[in-house]
Amino acid sequence: MLRLVLVKVFYLQPVADNNTEEKKTSVGDDESKRWRKGRGAAHKVEERAQVCYGYILEGGTRHQIAEKVSSRFNVSMRTAHDDYKRAMELLRQEQNGTREELLNQLQALRLATVQKALKRGHFQTVATLLGDMGRVIGEAAPEQLALQVPTLDIKIEGREETG
């Protein structure tokens, strides 16, 4: 038969004399003995979010981007999806900026995509992107199109019949 006995254990702490300083012997006592593996966790999270943001701008699905982040930083898919959420939050904050800045960024992305599509011979994609770029700068605004379209008015005057 096993019997458990409750025993109070007292740990004796070294007490420093008034003339001597207490020795720092453990990692808990002495911060200089701690090893932090470089930057802290917050820096690593921020770095992964920034890389994820770059992947978002390159294009791809959420899962593809999470896989890239997961393989690059050797983190779980859940962590990679969390980084994707942080990157999307950064993108939302950036979109709260001025409209001109966003339009310039979109135009730059469209130009890069046009160049890639031209290299691959995807001319329909190029035509679509160029049409989008024209609409952004107001080239194809409905008001301007209405002013540019010629009108043809035909009037037929009635004939008088004589009998």
Model confidence at 72, pLDDT cuts 50, 70, 90, reads very high
Beta-carbon count within 10 A of 49 CB:
20
Q: Retrieve residue 47's tokens.
A: 């770095």
- How many Cα atoms occupy the beta-carbon half-sphere of 94 within 13 Å? 15
As a whole number, the mean pLDDT across the chain is: 78
The tens digit of pLDDT for each residue in 132-158 reads 878 777 765 666 666 666 777 888 887
Model confidence at 126, pLDDT cuts 50, 70, 90, reads confident
Q: Retrieve residue 29's tokens.
A: 């006592």
Q: Retrieve residue 131's tokens.
A: 């049409």
Return the amino acid letter for 133.
M
Is the separation of the CB atoms in 144 and 138 below 8 Å? yes
